[in-house]
Amino acid sequence: MDRRSPARIIAGCFALCGFAVAVFASLGVGATVETILLRSIFGLVVCYIVGAIIGAVGERCIREGFETFASSHRVPKQEVFLVSPAGEEAGAARVAGSGGKAS
């Protein structure tokens, strides 16, 4: 996972939510500050791991879905003729089907 990976972003969101839930749940039962922090940090770590797993699975599913779609919907290569503003033909350029860039 790289630094800006969706799996890491999802894991961070899960971790912060776990931390917040643990803080408010512990405050609700009247726990001491040490207990609140211990539970909250434990919840943060556990939720980060769970979020990283869920994020990695989701990222892989989306990547495979894009690859499947791209392989079943190929765009044929086309020849494009470039025409100058004066009207004369400037030549032919090959356009890649998937990227749309002239080569």
- Residues 22 and 38: their CA atoms lie apart, in Å, by 9
pTM over cut 0.95: no
Q: Which amino acid is at 42?
A: F
- Residues 37 and 13: their CA atoms lie apart, in Å, by 18
pLDDT (0 to 100) of residue 86: 66
Is the alpha carbon torsion for 18, 20, 24, 29 positive or negative? Answer: positive
- Residues 48 and 103: their CA atoms lie apart, in Å, by 45
Cα-to-chain-centroid distance, residue 26: 33
Q: Per residue of the chain (103 residues), what is the pLDDT tens digit? A: 566 788 999 999 999 999 999 999 999 999 999 999 999 999 999 999 999 999 999 999 999 999 998 888 887 777 776 666 666 655 545 445 445 454 4
